[in-house]
Chain A
Amino acid sequence: QVQLVQSGAEVKTTGSSVKVSCKASGDTLNSYDISWVRQAPGQGLEWMGGIIPIFGRPYYSQKFQGRMTITADKFANTAYMELNSLTSEDTAVYFCARDLGTMRPAYWGQGTLVTVSS
């Protein structure tokens, strides 16, 4: 059974950075497409970017290009999302998901709440 386990909640100050991890168990991440998705309070799902760890090259939504870095550690079976220059508008639950937009079944992490305050 595939499980994606994310790191715990974070509280950050305006202008700082946050790094969230997503570790796979039950299967390898490496040859799958890993997306990062966020959901602000009371809002819908917003796709941010993704990576296929075996290829290593991330791809981003234009909205987050330049402010977001997605990486993957093939040996640790873990993907990471780092978001810089945080503002209060980045307060959201951040999800990782496997195989969004593919012909394979998608799996979701449990979500990580990131709270940004001044």
Chain B
Amino acid sequence: SSELTQDPAVSVALGQTVKITCQGDSLRDFYASWHQQKPGQAPVLVIYGENTRPSGIPDRFSGSRSGKIASLTITGAQAEDEADYYCNSRDGSGDRRVFGPGTKVTVL
């Protein structure tokens, strides 16, 4: 299957921890990357590879994988973390890319 699934929305209290998951068969073979998108802006990469943060991304963002589930964890969520988060990986063939439907994170 080439699909990735995500929960549509999650909420987290300010300063607390939230875990967003992405599920798909191809994740057994390929890592997911995670992209943050705020309204009216281009996406921004926050995690790629096994668990690597690009320069400038706070260390409260971390990634992990177990079987066919990839996860993005925000430890100590801040108001500026409120955004849509998309997972991205390859499809089962490895030739093409696929996005999850996105998870809207609300910081209360």
Which of A's residues lie within 8 Å of B, judged by CB? Answer: 35, 37, 44-47, 50, 59, 61, 95, 97, 100-101, 103-111
Contact = CB atoms under 8 A, between A and B. Distances in A.
Contact of A59 (B33, B54, B86, B95): B95
Contacts of A108: 35, 42-45
B31 A103 contact: yes
Interface residues of B, number: 26
Contacts of B89: 101
A110 B30 contact: no
A105 B45 contact: yes
Nearest to A100: B97
Most chain B beta carbons < 10 A, residue from A37, A47, A50, A105: A105
Given A45-B86, A101-B89, A107 B45 contact: yes
A101 B86 contact: no
B42 A111 contact: yes
A95 B42 contact: yes
* B-side interface mostly: strand
A106 B44 CA distance: 8
A45 B33 contact: no
A101 to B, nearest CB: 4
A103 B43 CA distance: 18
Given A105-B48, A105-B54, A110-B42, A44 B33 contact: no
Contacts of A107: 45
B98 A47 contact: yes
A104 B31 CA distance: 11
18 contacts: A35-B97, A44-B100, A46-B99, A47-B97, A59-B96, A95-B42, A101-B33, A101-B88, A101-B90, A103-B48, A105-B52, A106-B48, A107-B45, A108-B42, A108-B43, A108-B44, A109-B42, A111-B42
